[in-house]
């Protein structure tokens, strides 16, 4: 082909290429408007930080707003230019050219990976991301096409325009297939489930000296083993695993990249609640699972609820401490239905200050202060867990204003609490009767004992464990434990079990004065935690990563 023929063919090919660019750009702009509108109106959303470095919760919305507004401007100008021609191509080139740079104002593209990897996935972020890219590329393609038509009187070839639209459609679909899976809230989670089993075996009143099973689990943390369902659950660094009373794995729920930072058991052992955390600013996801089958019941990243679980322990069917998941908003107390993750009821408790949840088996309990001049009048409120009605309003003391938030409390037995106010003096509160009894100075609630509770008081070279009656707070008997290492306690039938790294010692819980030892019931294994589960006593050795069951 001669040089003259090449020069003659170039003008014929250029309108085709320009029309292809215009067609692809128009299709991408339409997609940008559609995805942007969906992202802002109907897409599911996640709880992103309101204040954050480089980006925040408004970032996806701003990106989709840019796509909708700028995309609409360019699209309207393009339709006018195609219909009218002439100088309208100049207007289109200017509009499209000036529409592209503002897309750089969005922080979404540079932080998209952090948002989708560190926070619960939702449709809002990936659709805004697609809208941003489609809007930018569409504006650039339309600007290029408009420049190609300047000064030319040729009409646009419909076939080339449709061909460009088809190319834009294929590219857009490919991008959507790659990006939209980022909006799946289950992304990163891996789970197995189990069929429903039979009824849970009874809690043992005595155990043999020979282990029934041993389970090895890496990374067992403090309070990581809880009775649940017909067996027990274990919090691992990446999730939770459930075992039956013979030590066989039933189900598991984990996340590939996030840490499991909380494990609670609710609804009489029927529901397991796990908190997953990526470590990012204000990140966290709660997952509710059926304790028997591991079926996902609900998942949420509601910030108020995620924060609430860090201070609210769950209950098991064997430890006698039925706690409930609650949240506060001013004077309003809200109970969360742990089977659904939704609000069950909300009640106004009347006291807006110094909330501290410390429930018992019969109620949702909380300490609340009312500022009166220079003092804070602390009260204990017993709330009906079924209705939210206040059952009891018990005055527990007045403390200087600066000490009003210094109340600490732990559940003690089925219907009691051990608490210390601003004066530091520990007391036992029987919630069922409303009576308060003084305890030894420095006593801290350590765990449950048979029909009562156990406190720990420091002594020279060790500590004294006292077994108290759950009705009147009367000291039954006590045991001196030497050393400063960790200690764990459990009530089993008429025995009090005390576990340390030196082994598990058994004592008769019906004595007065000093609790009498029962050497024949001792277990010669290190114990960091003792957990009474259906059908077995679990001895947890965190150092070796083992859970040994005695039935």
Give the tens place of pLDDT for each residue, 24-38. Answer: 999 999 999 999 999
CA distance 532 to 535: 8
Residue 313 has pLDDT above 50, yes or no: no
What is the maximal distance between C-alpha atoms in the chain? Answer: 116
Contact 515, 530 (CB under 8 A): no
What is the pLDDT at residue 431?
80
CA-closest candidate to residue 255, choices 237, 238, 277: 238
> Which DSSP category does 483 fall into?
S
CA distance 382 to 323: 12
Give the tens place of pLDDT for each residue, 490-530. Answer: 888 888 899 999 899 999 888 788 889 988 888 989 999 99
What is the pLDDT at residue 401?
60
What is the pLDDT at residue 420?
79
Q: Which of 14-23, 116-125, 212-221, 507-516 has the highest mean pLDDT?
A: 116-125
Contact 503, 527 (CB under 8 A): yes
Dihedral (Cα; 437, 439, 442, 445), 10-degree rounding: -80
Identify the structural domains of the chain with CATH numbers, from first to last.
Answer: 9-183 (no CATH), 442-533 (2.40.10)
Residue with tokens 């085709």: 16
Mean pLDDT over residues 243-250, rounded? 94
What is the pLDDT at residue 315?
43
Start-to-end Cα distance in the chain: 94
What is the pLDDT at residue 394?
83
Lowest mean pLDDT among 27-36, 232-241, 242-251, 349-358: 349-358
CA-closest candidate to residue 187, choices 44, 52, 317: 44
CA distance 235 to 225: 7
pTM of the predicted model, to two decimals?
0.88
CA distance 267 to 70: 52
- Average pLDDT over the chain reads 86
- CB within 8 A of 506, min separation 6: which ones? 495, 496, 497, 517, 518, 519, 520, 521, 522, 523
Contact 259, 276 (CB under 8 A): yes
What is the pLDDT at residue 354?
59
Higher pLDDT, 257 or 413: 257
CA distance 234 to 30: 50
């Amino acid at each position: 082909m001669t040089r003259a023929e090449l020069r003659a063919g170039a003008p014929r090919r250029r309108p085709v290429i320009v029309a292809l660019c215009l067609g692809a750009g128009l299709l991408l702009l339409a997609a940008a408007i559609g995805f942007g509108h969906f992202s802002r109106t109907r897409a599911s959303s996640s709880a992103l930080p309101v204040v954050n470095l480089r980006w925040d919760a408004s970032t996806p919305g701003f990106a989709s707003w840019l796509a909708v507004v700028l995309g609409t401007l360019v699209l309207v100008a393009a339709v006018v230019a195609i219909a009218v021609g002439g100088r309208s191509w100049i207007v289109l080139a200017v509009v499209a050219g000036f529409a592209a740079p503002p897309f750089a104002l969005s922080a979404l593209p540079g932080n998209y990976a952090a948002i989708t990897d560190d926070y619960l996935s939702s449709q809002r972020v990936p659709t805004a991301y697609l809208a941003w890219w489609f809007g930018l590329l569409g504006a650039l393609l339309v600007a290029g096409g408009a420049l190609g038509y300047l000064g030319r009187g040729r009409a646009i070839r419909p076939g080339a325009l449709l061909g460009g639209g088809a190319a834009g459609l294929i590219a857009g679909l490919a991008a959507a297939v790659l990006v939209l899976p980022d909006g799946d809230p289950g992304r990163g989670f891996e789970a197995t489930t189990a069929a429903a089993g039979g009824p849970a075996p009874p809690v043992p009143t005595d155990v043999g000296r020979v282990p029934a099973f041993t389970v090895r689990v890496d990374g067992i943390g403090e309070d990581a083993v809880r009775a649940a369902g017909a067996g027990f659950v274990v919090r691992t660094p990446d999730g939770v695993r459930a075992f039956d009373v013979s030590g066989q794995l039933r189900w598991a729920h984990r996340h590939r990249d996030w840490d499991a930072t909380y494990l609670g058991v609710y609804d009489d052992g029927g529901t397991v609640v796990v908190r997953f955390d990526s470590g990012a600013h204000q990140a966290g996801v709660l997952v509710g699972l059926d304790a028997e089958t591991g079926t996902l019941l609900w998942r949420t990243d509601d910030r108020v609820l995620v924060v609430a679980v860090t201070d609210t322990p769950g209950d098991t069917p064997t430890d006698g401490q039925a706690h409930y998941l609650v949240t506060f908003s001013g004077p309003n107390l809200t109970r969360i239905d742990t089977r659904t993750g939704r609000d069950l009821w909300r009640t106004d408790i009347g006291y807006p200050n110094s909330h501290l949840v410390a429930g018992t088996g019969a109620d949702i309990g909380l300490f609340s202060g009312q500022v009166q001049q220079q003092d804070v009048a602390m009260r204990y409120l017993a709330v009906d867990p079924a209705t939210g009605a206040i059952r009891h309003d018990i005055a527990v003391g007045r403390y200087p204003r600066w000490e009003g938030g210094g109340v600490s409390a732990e559940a003690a037995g089925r219907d009691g609490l051990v608490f210390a106010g601003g004066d530091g003096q520990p007391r036992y509160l029987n919630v069922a009767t409303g009576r308060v009894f003084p305890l030894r100075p420095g006593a801290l609630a350590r765990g449950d004992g048979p029909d009562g509770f156990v406190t720990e008081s420091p002594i020279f070279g060790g500590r004294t464990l006292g077994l108290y009656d759950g009705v009147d707070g009367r000291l039954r008997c006590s045991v001196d434990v030497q050393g400063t290492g960790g200690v764990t306690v459990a009530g089993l039938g008429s025995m009090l079990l005390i576990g340390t790294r030196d082994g598990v010692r058994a004592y008769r819980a019906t004595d007065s004065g000093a609790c009498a030892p029962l050497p024949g019931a001792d277990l010669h294994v290190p114990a960091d935690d003792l957990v009474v589960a259906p059908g077995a006593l679990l001895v947890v050795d965190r150092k070796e990563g083992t859970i040994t069951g005695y039935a």
